[in-house]
Structure 1
Amino acid sequence: MSLYAADKLIGQARQLAAEYRRTMGKPLPGISNEIALHDAIRLLRLKPVDASTGGYDAVDPSRDNRRIQIKSRTIFDESKTGQRIGQVKADQSWDCVVLVLMDEEYEPYEIYEADRNELLEFMEHSSSNRAKRGALSVARFKIIGRLAWSRDQGLAPEIWDNQAG
């Protein structure tokens, strides 16, 4: 499948997911993860790995094939607090996690990156049983990590400067 065809399909998936939520009052299960995976790979210029590869979703060829786990969260109401991301599995092989934040139209607006050591250290020293199991809030992930991409600014040069231009 060509890149253009994949981009077109993801665009249609965004429209379907947004319309489904408006009509049914709940999100379409699983679609935000697929959209986020596509967006992170495209926007951060990553290389996808085979789906059977455990623990990570992509590698960054310009950073020694860093193994990247991709998480997503669609934010429908910014005023709601305590929104969580999917569980980070400490026992699997990965070097960092990126979190793709999407708006109600399933369009990405920010991508954060957190290194394995920083996440594991927080999980180990946290008093929260949820955090110890790898269940983090979006707010906590943003504190631990750093902004890698934003809709307004593009790639953050201090993280992805080797890919600029």
Structure 2
Amino acid sequence: MTDDAKSQRVAAVLAAIRPLAAEYYRLTGKPLGVTGELGEHAAAELLGLELASARTKGHDALRIGADGTARRVQIKTRVADSKGSGSKKLGTLAHHDHCDTVLLVLLGAATFDPREIWEAPMSALAERLAKPGSKARDRGRLSIGEFKRIGRLVWPSPGE
């Protein structure tokens, strides 16, 4: 199977899974376990990223610049409430030198389609995580709201 055919097949599988994941979430209030894959695929497709191999340490994708340099991207995905924020925590951020930037993909609860993608430099997130006074930060976790305050909206474009 060619890379293009494989990529098309992965997209088809994820398109089939998306409504099932949304229904499971509506019925149970819990994610099905494919949220991360849906977010990674959406970010790669919408932002032109190259997904890394499974179990690559510290990053999920690469962003290749016009000059050919690769920036390592960690991708976190959450199902968003109607406001797209709240106190929900992100998964643990692997804040070491295996990542340059972090994307937060917010999926709509009704369809699991991407609603927003936020980006923050790992250096700024690591600085926030280093501040004392929070058990969650000690574990490498930030809330969606904290991430948004540090980052910037990259999709849809802020002007859309």
Query: When the two structures are superposed, what TM-score results if normalisation uses the length of structure 2?
Result: 0.85
Closer/same/farther in 2, CA of residues 79 and 138 from structure 1, 3 Å limit: closer
Q: Residue 140 of structure 1: CA displacement? A: 0.3
Inter-partner Cα distance in structure 1 for 2:18 and 2:88:
21
AA aligned opposite 2:135: N
Per-residue displacement from partner, 1:48-96 (whole Å, max 9, x unpaired)?
Answer: 1111321101000126210000000002454983111111022351111
| Number of the residue aligned with 1:45 | 48
CA contact (8 A) 1:54 1:92 kept: no
Alpha-carbon distance in structure 1 between the residues aligned to 2:108 and 2:55: 29
Structure 2: distance between partners of 1:47 and 1:12: 22
> Unaligned 5+ residue runs, structure 1?
155-165
The TM-score normalised by the length of structure 1 is 0.83
Q: Is the counterpart of residue 66 in structure 1 residue 71 in structure 2?
A: yes
Please tell me whether the aligned partners of residues 24 and 32 of structure 2 are also in contact (alpha carbons under 8 angstroms).
no
SS of match in other structure, 1:125: coil
Q: Tell me, yes or no, if the aligned pair for 1:109 and 1:151 is still in contact at 8 Å.
A: no
Cα 1:4–1:80 change in 2 (3 A) is closer
Q: What amino acid is aligned across from residue 61 of structure 1 in structure 2?
A: I
* One-letter amino acid matched to 1:146: R
State how 1:1-165 maps to structure 2 within 5 Å. 1-22=5-26, 24-62=27-65, 64-78=69-83, 81-91=86-96, 93-104=98-109, 105-150=111-156
Deviant stretches of 4+, over 6 Å:
none
How many residue pairs were aligned?
Answer: 153
The superposition leaves residues 114-149 of structure 1 with CA deviations (integer Å, 9 ceiling, x where unpaired) of 101101111112422211321100000000111111
Separation (CA, whole Å) in 2 of partners of 1:115 and 1:138? 15
